[in-house]
Structure 1
Amino acid sequence: MDFRDKLILAPMAGVCDQPFRLLCKEQGCDILYSEMVSAKAIYYKNMNTKPLLAMDEREKPFGLQLFGSDPEIMAEMAKRIESNGYSFIDVNMGCPVPKVVNNGEGSALMKDPVLVGRIVEAMAKAISIPLTIKIRSGFDSEHINAPEIAHIAQESGAAAVAVHGRTRQQYYQGHADWSVIARVKEACIIPIIGNGDINTPQDIIDMRAQTNCDGFMIGRGARGNPWIFRDMKYYYEHGELPDKPDIYEVKDMMLRHARLMVEFKGEYTGIHEMRKHVAWYSVGMYDSAKLRSNVNQVETYEELEELLCRWADSAPEKVIVS
């Protein structure tokens, strides 16, 4: 599994479902992750995990991200699901959500380096595909231990480590501290993936210069903007950004996204979940506040299509995404 010089979509819960992943892949994303899946939920055969485990062959290389804190259960569930055809399995050690952290999972694991080693060792021995982990810079500003955690994971069998340059305490506030990513890179010989505040091609250039990391993970910068992967690759090839999508291209992308959502989740769930995506797609665009208000009244694909076509047609000529 090669993570070097790759553009990677971060495994954002509630965002990176299969429809959105497919759109990002089409726009040039190199590696995809699932939304995080509870190992205990798989163990207890919770039916809610089934769509989270789904993978389309077009998504490969694709990693399934698990979260949990019991080494035996994590290893057993990793072994159970690896036959589904995933390219690698990842362990979430960075989720800051209280219900996850309070259960000793996600970023709470960074408070227990010994447990991290036990989890990684048990899982790496149980599966034949690569095992990776995703961490934060530390649990809080008083405990910046990403280099230690990454080195333990490496010695325990991890094939790569993704590092979000914020602490759990920060959630998604403030700025990502890329210097921590640089220290992780210095501490390890396995590939290190940088994550945090990558929104433009220049950010990748700057992150590489400052950290020497191997791959680049894009999270919130991709919400409502699957073109970000296309733009970054075009910039590297041509030294300039391509033309931004106009309002009709954005409308068409939203409708394609909606059709995939309906196909994958059914109309009721798919259209309701599209509301937040429409808000992200339309940020900074013509009459976006009114559009965000109106989309919350939409219940069917036909209603969404009518709303978006009316919005695009009423915009001033040649409106470009800001």
Structure 2
Amino acid sequence: MRVGRFELSGRAFLAPMAGVTDASMRGVALRFGATAVVGEMVAAAGLARGDRETRTRLARSRSEGGPDIVQIAACDPEGAARAAGGAVEAGAEWIDLNMGCPCKRVTGGLAGAALMRDLDLARRIVAAAVEAARVPVSVKMRLGWDEASRNAPALARAAQEEGAALVTIHGRTRRQLYQGRADWAAIAAVKAAVQIPVIANGDCDSPQAAKDMLRLSRADAVMIGRAALGRPWLVGDVASYLDTGRLRPEPSLAERLEIALEHLTALGRAMGPLAGLRHARKHLAAYVDCAGLGDRDPARRRALLVETDPDEARRLLAGIFSAPSLEAAA
């Protein structure tokens, strides 16, 4: 799969998730074989201001492999152009335009999935970003705003005509939010409408699911979001399975602990010890729960989620993954 100057050999991407896919998580995913990872969504206005949160989200993963992709939410062509140009100046090698975020905070500002209600504006935003960025520009969208307006094929065609190099389709409408199941088969209409690569997104939680997703959507690759929380290696597992047809072994509990501690350390280094620990809490809980240890040591898990000392958090985490827990899980 070729996207601009990038030749991508795999077929599994890590999705952008605001407040979740930090640089450390992206680095782990890349190390385990993810085809590419997309940084957290940043608002065009925040990029223009250069605020601290935006700078943090722009921090690159230091792991090798895959282009540096920055996702932007913009509500007008001028803002999209400024944001895309600024992100490229900061080191971005690929710009992804968010036209699928369903949250009210984003759609209320006429960005994200709200753009699926104004395809002319969406088209102009794509054109402005392509002109300003001079690097590959992709567009992430949903099937439509609601069941009565499933217009993803039309938006994908418009994006292609304005120079977009790839589109990603989440298999739900905005009105569905994250309810029900993603409609993978509906993505096939988008694939039939364009010549650029199409990525299918929504409810892909295993290598086997990824295979079914590609069969039904006819997409070129899959994008994995919420299922990778606490399992950032899952994206690489999917890429490997789609390439070889063989399942890789799950990381051992000792390996999971090592990854969780690495993640916590990296966040502390990037954000400061206390802010990094607070940001890490959702990740640490997910590492514990995905290992099947949350119910086995609930007191330590609760303590972990309110701890303010990073060293004590490391001790609590190690205790949860300790030998007694290993024996209980065996």
TM-score by length of 2: 0.91
Q: Residue by residue, what CA displacement relative to the aligned partner does 1:215-256 show, whole Å, maximum 9, x if unpaired?
A: 211101101001213422443466442332332222222111
Kindly indicate whether the alpha-carbon contact (under 8 Å) linking 2:70 and 2:96 is maintained by their aligned counterparts in 1. Answer: yes
Q: Which residue of 2 aligns with 1:156?
A: 162
Distance 1:4 1:246 in 2: 27
The 1:97–1:9 alpha-carbon spacing in structure 2 relative to 1, beyond 3 Å, is: same
Alignment pair present for 1:131 and 2:137: yes
Alignment partner of 1:300 out of 285, 304, 309: 309
AA at the equivalent of 1:28: G
Q: Cα 1:238–1:73, aligned 2, differ >3 Å: closer, same or farther?
A: closer
Whether 1:46 and 2:51 are equivalent positions in the alignment is yes
Residues 105 and 280 of structure 1, relative CA distance in 2, 3 Å threshold:
same
Q: Which residue in 2 is equivalent to 1:218? A: 224
- Given the alignment, which residue of 46, 67, 73 partners 1:67? 73
Shift of 1:270: 1.0
Q: Does the CA contact (< 8 Å) of 1:69 and 1:105 recur in 2?
A: yes
Superposed counterparts of 1:90-169, under 5 Å: 90-169=96-175
The CA RMSD measured in Å over matched residues stands at: 1.9
Distance 1:312 1:82 in 2: 41
Q: Which residue of 2 aligns with 1:25?
A: 30
Encode CA deviations 1:124-179: one digit per residue, 9 max, x unaligned. Answer: 12221111110011111221111111111111111110100011111111100112
The alignment of Structure 1 onto Structure 2 pairs a total of residues equal to 320
Q: In the TM superposition, what whole-angstrom CA distance separates every residue of 1:274-301 from its partner, at most 9, and x where no partner exists? A: 2111221122513154343121231122
The alpha-carbon distance between structure 1 residues 24 and 42, as it changes in their structure 2 partners (threshold 3 A), is: same
Query: Relative to structure 2, which stretch is displaced further, 172-181 or 3-12?
Result: 3-12
Distance 1:85 1:41 in 2: 16
Does 2:292 align with 1:282?
A: no
The one of 303, 317, 321 equivalent to 2:327 is: 317
Partner of 2:40: 35
How far, CA to CA, are the matches of 1:45 and 1:88 in structure 2?
19
Does the aligned pair in 1 maintain the 2:47–2:86 contact within 8 Å? no
Matched, 1:266 2:272: yes
SS at match of 1:64: strand
Aligned residue number for residue 86 of structure 1: 92
Aligned-pair identity (%)? 37
8 Å CA contact retained: 1:79, 1:126: yes
Change (3 A) 1:234 1:70: closer
* Counterpart residue type for residue 317 of structure 1: E
What letter is aligned with 2:154?
E
Pairwise CA distance, 1:197: 1.2
Deviation at 1:98, TM superposition (A): 0.7
Q: CA deviation at 1:106?
A: 0.7
Query: Cα deviations across residues 165-199 of structure 1 (Å, max 9, x unaligned)?
Result: 01111111110011221110000001101101111
Residues 10, 34 of structure 2: 8 Å contact kept: no
Partner Cα distance (1:305, 1:127) in 2: 41
**8 A Cα contact 2:138 2:166, kept in partner:** yes
Cα distance change on mapping 1:234 and 1:158 into 2, 3 Å? closer
Which secondary structure state, in structure 1, belongs to the residue aligned with residue 148 of structure 2? coil
TM-score computed with the length of structure 1 as normaliser = 0.93
Q: Does 1:252 align with 2:249?
A: no
Distance in structure 1 (CA, Å) of the matches to 2:15 and 2:251: 23
1:55 is matched with 60
Which 10-residue stretch deviates more, 259-268 or 69-78?
69-78
2:212 maps to which of 171, 182, 206: 206
| Superposed CA offset, 1:22-66 (max 9, x none) | 111111112111111111122233333211222245354121111
Aligned residues of 1:30 and 1:61 also touching (Cα < 8 A): no
